[in-house]
Chains A and B, each alone.
Chain A
Amino acid sequence: MEYWIAFFVGGLICGLAQFIIDRANVAQIHMVAVLVSFGAILGALGVYDSLVSVAGAGALLPMSGFGYLLVKGIWSHGTEQGWTNIGAGIFQFVGLELSFTIVLSFFAAIIWKPRG
């Protein structure tokens, strides 16, 4: 059952994004930037939290999950140390993925040559 929910939620985000890309004639990277900002706003409102608990990977894997995790990092860092937590906590949950992606991309560039 959880697989079906993940399938439908993730698929719906992708299908809707593709429809907007075709219809409004925007570039894909513009759509991704909008999606990240949207995920951050929904995360700040607390809506995305419940979506992740229902859909799991279907809500985490689209890039709106990236924005949600950025906001979640700020929120979970607490406010007892004042305003410095805003910048300190922002990469708490995505820092691992981000650094892993950069390191892997670098090693991929070392190992493989461009094709074509």
Chain B
Amino acid sequence: MSLRKNYQHAVKQFQPKPSYIANSLKAFISGGLLCACGEALRKLYMNGFNVSAVNADHLMMLTIILLAVLFTALGVYDTFSQFAGAGATILLSGFANSLASAAIEHRSEGWVGGVANQMFKVGGAVIVYGVVVAFVLGVVHYIV
């Protein structure tokens, strides 16, 4: 244990420090721009196409998902998320990206064992934790 600690201490001064401010700023700008685009789409559907507010929200999210899957398949989204960090992975488009990239990546292992089984390799955590927390809250809400 002490050897390991010693090593970690010795190696620390040679490791590059992550630039907190620059990374956060990149995530802020790219995530914010994506959200502003989503808002513009929402306004466009609501005012331009006379869609109801609820359906405009749905259509906006579906458009973002469609674009995210398309850019993932073309290999553009990887480059973007390397630049933006959390600004690309934390949004709904990042969820779509994780599903699509896992599905495409495991295509060679077969349609059931590869694509279908591995699709939720990364994105499954979102669904599991979301459903568990929401379900528990729903039970509490029902009892109280």
CB within 8 Å of B: which residues of A? Answer: 2-4, 6-19, 21-23, 28-33, 35-37, 40-41, 44, 55-58, 60-63, 65-67, 70-71, 73-75, 79, 83, 86-87, 90, 96-98, 100-102, 104-106, 108-109, 111-115
In the complex, the answer to whether B27 meets A14 with C-beta atoms within 8 Å is yes
6 CB-based A-B contacts, threshold 8 Å: A10-B32, A57-B37, A61-B34, A74-B138, A100-B62, A108-B72
- Collect the chain B residues with CB atoms within 8 Å of residue A9's CB: 35
- Indicate with 1 or 0, residue by residue over B108-125, a CB within 8 angstroms of chain A CB atoms: 100000011001001001
Q: Does B1 contact A (CB under 8 A)?
A: no
The residue that A104 contacts in the complex, of B34, B75, B96, B139, with Cβ under 8 A, is B96
CB distance from A24 to the nearest CB of B (A): 11
CB within 8 Å of A: which residues of B? Answer: 18, 20, 23-43, 57-58, 60-62, 64-66, 69-70, 72-73, 75, 84-87, 89-96, 98-100, 102-105, 107-108, 115-116, 119, 122, 125-131, 133-135, 137-142
In the complex, the answer to whether A102 meets B119 with C-beta atoms within 8 Å is yes
The residue that B103 contacts in the complex, of A2, A23, A79, A109, with Cβ under 8 A, is A109
